[in-house]
Amino acid sequence: MLVVSVPAFAVWPLQDGDGNQLPSLAPMLEKINPAVVNISTFATRQQMNPLLNDPFFRHFFGPNQRAPQMKRSQSAGSGVIVDAADGTVITNFHVIDGADEIKVSLNDGRTFDAKLVGSDPDVDIAILKIEANGLHEVKMADSDATRVGDFVVAIGNPFGLGQTVTTGVVSAIGRTGLGIEGYENFIQTDASINPGNSGGALVNLNGELVGINTAIIAPAGGNVGIGFAIPTNMARHSLEQILEHGEVKRGQLGVVIQDLTPDLAEAFGLEGTQGVVVSEVQDGSAADKAGIKQGDVITEFDGKEMRTAAQLRNAV
C-alpha cells in the first residue's frame, strides 16, 4: 500500500464520522456573538395631511386646518462592541441618522440607552457608548491582510429578527465607485447581508473583525450574494478620530485627480496603467507647496502603491 502525504489547504476542521467533532463555527461564535448588538432607533417627525398642499382643497376647507401630527417611527440595525471597558459600540451612520433615541440590546437580553459620541457620514460610521458591565468585545483585525477567498462570517440583526449568522467568502477587496458613500474601499462578500444587518460584524475564522457590514446590491429587493463591508482599518481611523476629537478631520492635498487610463498612459509615454493623474493643482495648496504639477502621475503615497484615484483619496 502506498501512502502519500499531501498538504492540507482547507481551513475547516475535518474529522471522521466515528463520534469525533464535526466541522463547526460554534466555538468561535460563542465568543463573538455577545459582542454583536442589536440597535433600535426611534425618531419623531412631523406628519402633515398631503391634501393641505393642494390649493383647491384649502380654498374649500379654509386655511385653519389641524396642526401637523407628530409621528413616532422605529427602525433596527446592528452594532459591534470594540471596547468592553468603555462600552464603545461601532455601527453605521445611516442606522442612527435622525434618531432622537437609541437603544442597544445584548444577546443576553439586557437593553441599554446609548449615547452618540460622534459620526463620520462620509464613511458611514457612527460611534455609540453604553454604560454596562460584563460586556464582550471583538478584536479588530488588520483588514489590509484580508484576501479574496478568505472565509468570513456576517453577524447582525436582519429584518429585526434578532441575531443571525451567515457565512461566505471575500469576493473582492477595494471596491469603489459604487456611489454609496463619500469614501469607498469596500470588502465585497457573498455572505448573506439583508436590511437590519447594517452596522453588524464581518469576522474571519479567527473571530477577528475585518469589516462593518453596510450595504447590499439587491435589484429585486432581496439578497443576491453581493454585500459590502467597510474595512476595519478605515473604520478604525474614524473611530480613533471621533474618540479623540469628537469628529473626523481629513487632510487635503489641493488637487483634482483621475485614474491613469490606457489612453493617458500612452499619451504620457508610460508602460503601466496603474497610477493617479493630477489634472489640476490649486494655488497655495499643500500639493502646490510640495512642487506637484499638473500632469504628474502619482504611483505611491506614504510607502503604499497607488493604483486608483479613489485609493489615493482614501489614503489622504
Q: State how far the alpha carbon of 171 is from the alpha carbons of 174, 232, 252, in Å.
A: 11, 17, 32
Q: Of residues 105, 143, 198, 238, which has the active-site annotation?
A: 198
Q: Which of 105, 120, 124, 143 is catalytic?
A: 124
Catalytic-residue membership of 94: yes
Q: CA 92 → CA 18, 48, 165, 265, 316, distances in Å?
A: 45, 29, 18, 38, 22
- Residues 40, 75, 78, 94: which is the catalytic one? 94
Residue with cell 452596522: 199
Across 86-114, b (16+ Cβ under 10 Å) vs e yields ebbbbbbbbbbeebeebbbbbeeeeebeb
Give yes or no: 142 in active site: no
Please choose, from the candidates 276, 316, 281, the residue with its C-alpha nearest in 3D space to the C-alpha of residue 297. 276
Burial 48-79 (b: 16+ CB within 10 A, else e): eeeeeeeeeeeeeeeeeeeeeeeeeeebbbbb
Could you give the C-alpha distances from 292 to 254, 276, 285, in angstroms and in order?
10, 12, 10
Is residue 285 annotated as part of the catalytic site, yes or no?
Answer: no
- Taking residue 173's Cβ as centre, other Cβ atoms within 10 Å add up to 18
Measured distance CA(247)–CA(137) in Å, rounded: 23
Residues serving a catalytic function are: 94, 124, 198
